[in-house]
Structure 1
């Protein structure tokens, strides 16, 4: 693992040379091929070095992090064209990638916490430095304070674990069992905000709306997955407590997901609608993880990867519309089937994946999560049926409202698309729909 971490660290040096913008991106894709060779062959940790190592869960999430980081550079062409601090932007992305790889491969709980919190800073810089609207300062503060406020109790919880077990190695924790109810709240709350669970989700739409396209991609693609990953890790040593409290959390997350999916029908900002749809998907994933079943964990992991690629692709599409129309308002983005038919095809393909149509990863993840939740309680059947229905409903609503209707005649600055944009969408869509052929990896 240290070889990968050092490779990212030395790639940082490229940011300080002029005309090496694309070189940095090529280096990130070189890391993708390097990391392919690291594939863990068992469910145990491999590639161990110092406090780092990967197992199957962290392997896929690190892979997703490197992939999305490369696509962020591809999506942010405007920064290079208009010279908007592009070298600092690259530096920011690579620092973020470095912190994410360290977070997902940490074997020590305290180191995990350190990198988990550290990854917040580059995202904050992305929103505050390259966001378009004046409210980005407020969005950055929302993000910072929501996350920091609930993370400090977790730090105290980690120190308590160290005091009790004399070790913070995540893999050794499973031999202990906690019966201290406050610990469940303390250890879980930070991850619930990061996912985000309903009631603590208000920072997410705000951050998405104010962030640049790269900020939205990393937020939807990776930052929400940190919460799910953290829950997978801490539930190992809190099984007994989870049996006691998961009723409340599963109920809140699923009812919240249903409520938010209804709220999606009222959104007029494209980014806001996709951000709320992320809350719906993550609510379902959280419910699956808390059932503590094999189906739930597999489904949670598949949903994380599928949602990371799909949501990131949708934010790219919103940005392509925004660059042409200078607006994300649903009433102005109308009749696009007449103006940009090729982009309409991409909208259809990503929105069909978003509503869990085959052959996307979202479908497989949702099937696994449905099985795990129904095995946990059959009463959830009606709720989950409505959830799936409304999830398809707002995707269809978004597509039909945007692509059909009469476009505004004053709009005359259209061009259909560049090769770069189609490549960007293709690199999101192909893994999202082709990975289903290799599903035996996830089980």
Structure 2
């Protein structure tokens, strides 16, 4: 692991060469994949860094998504819009993600968790599309910082109680009272906002709509997974309190997912629709985590990986349409099959992946999550059924409105697609379907 971190530090000196950075990221991705199957937990690192299979899977996802982000952002290099600084911000963000997913100390985890906000904010405000990107950046900044300060106070209290912030040494809270309840909420709140849960999600659509394609792909592909990963690490400390409040989280997640799905059906902005669909999917992930069962944990990790690949690919498709038409509105981007017929296949493949159709990774994860939630209480069957139905409904709505119908009169010529764009979409779709076919799904072990 240390050699990958050092390689990224060395790569910062070569940001003037776009091709070298892009090829280096792909090489590092494949080299990291070769580490699969090693029996590791500390993985020959220092006393504060180490990975288990959950962290390994998410680091591998971070490497892969970042490689595709650089490939999809070729227009920044062509336009000369500070490509060196753009690559530097992406590498810094990747380093922050690696430190977050490999932290064995809660304080280092908190610092790296928060440091990922800075390069993301610079990407949105520096390479965003519209003047509203400043408002979107402020929304994201204040939502995240407001939720994260109680987490720092919680970690200091944990250090005062246990005498250490090491994940392998910290003792959990064994008393259920008002103080432990407040302690639990202050700890979980930061990750719930980052996930994001319904009612705490208002920053996400704004950030997605105003971000460049790189910002949207990283946000959907990796950064939303920080919330789920953080919950995996802190919920065992509050297992007794979590049992008392799991009904609240599951109720808000399932019913909020249904409401957000209905909101998706009235969106006219493609990126906004995909962003709201992420809220519905990640709500189901929260349900699986608070149940604290093996099915829920394994399903949550699989859905996080599958959603990262699928949602990132959909944002890449939305950017391809935006570059051709100059608009993300579904009212203008109708009839894309007429002048981008070969791109319609990728719209279909990634849309069915978004609705968890076989043989995608999302199907396996959602089956595990549905089993865990339904086994927790049969009352949730209705909400989960509505969530699954509307997931297919808004995905078919997005596909049918964008691909069929009469295209806009002012669109008289359009490039059907470049090899680079097809390669980016293929590299999103391939692991999403091959992992489940090859039986290489990582079984998480805490």
Q: Which stretches of structure 1, 4 residues or longer, exceed 6 Å deviation after superposition?
A: none
- SS of residue paired to 1:171: coil
Deviation string for 1:267-321 (max 9, x for gaps)? 0000000000000000011111110000000000000000000000000000000
For the pair 1:24 / 2:25, whether they are aligned, the reply is no
Q: 1:74 aligns with which of 71, 76, 79?
A: 71
For residue 8 of structure 1, report the CA deviation from its aligned partner. Answer: 1.0
Contact 1:153 1:186 in 2 (8 A): yes
For residue 42 of structure 1, report the CA deviation from its aligned partner. Answer: 4.7
For residue 33 of structure 1, report the CA deviation from its aligned partner. Answer: 2.3
Supply the distance in 2 between the matched residues of 1:399 and 1:441 (Cα, whole angstroms). Answer: 31
For residue 338 of structure 1, report the CA deviation from its aligned partner. Answer: 1.1
- SS of residue paired to 2:186: helix
What is the root-mean-square deviation in Å for CA atoms of aligned residues?
A: 1.3
Contact 2:302 2:441 in 1 (8 A): no
Q: 1:117 aligns with which of 97, 114, 118?
A: 114
Contact 1:178 1:238 in 2 (8 A): no
* 1:319-338 alignment runs, 5 A limit: 319-338=319-338
For residue 182 of structure 1, report the CA deviation from its aligned partner. Answer: 1.1
**Corresponding residue of 1:284:** 284
**Corresponding residue of 2:193:** 193
Supply the distance in 2 between the matched residues of 1:91 and 1:354 (Cα, whole angstroms). Answer: 31
**Corresponding residue of 1:442:** 443
TM-score (norm 2): 0.97
Supply the distance in 2 between the matched residues of 1:261 and 1:389 (Cα, whole angstroms). Answer: 9
Q: 1:103 aligns with which of 92, 100, 104?
A: 100
Supply the distance in 1 between the matched residues of 2:171 and 2:221 (Cα, whole angstroms). Answer: 29
For the pair 1:34 / 2:31, whether they are aligned, the reply is yes
The farther-off stretch of 196-205 and 23-32 is 23-32
TM-score (norm 1): 0.97
The farther-off stretch of 300-309 and 245-254 is 245-254
Contact 1:100 1:116 in 2 (8 A): yes
Contact 1:178 1:237 in 2 (8 A): no
**Corresponding residue of 1:314:** 314
Contact 2:435 2:441 in 1 (8 A): no
For residue 99 of structure 1, report the CA deviation from its aligned partner. Answer: 0.6
Per the alignment, do residues 400 and 22 of structure 1 end up closer, same or farther by CA in structure 2, a change over 3 Å counting? same
Asked which structure has the greater RCO (Cα within 8 Å, sep 6+), the reply is 2
Return 5+ residue gaps in structure 1 as ranges.
Answer: none
- SS of residue paired to 1:191: helix
For residue 441 of structure 1, report the CA deviation from its aligned partner. Answer: 2.6
For residue 31 of structure 1, report the CA deviation from its aligned partner. Answer: 1.2
**Corresponding residue of 1:253:** 253
**Corresponding residue of 2:91:** 94
Return 5+ residue gaps in structure 2 as ranges.
Answer: none
**Corresponding residue of 1:56:** 53
For the pair 1:136 / 2:137, whether they are aligned, the reply is no
Per the alignment, do residues 248 and 28 of structure 1 end up closer, same or farther by CA in structure 2, a change over 3 Å counting? same
Contact 1:40 1:55 in 2 (8 A): no
For residue 178 of structure 1, report the CA deviation from its aligned partner. Answer: 5.4
Contact 2:42 2:49 in 1 (8 A): no
State how many pairs are aligned: 440
For residue 174 of structure 1, report the CA deviation from its aligned partner. Answer: 5.3
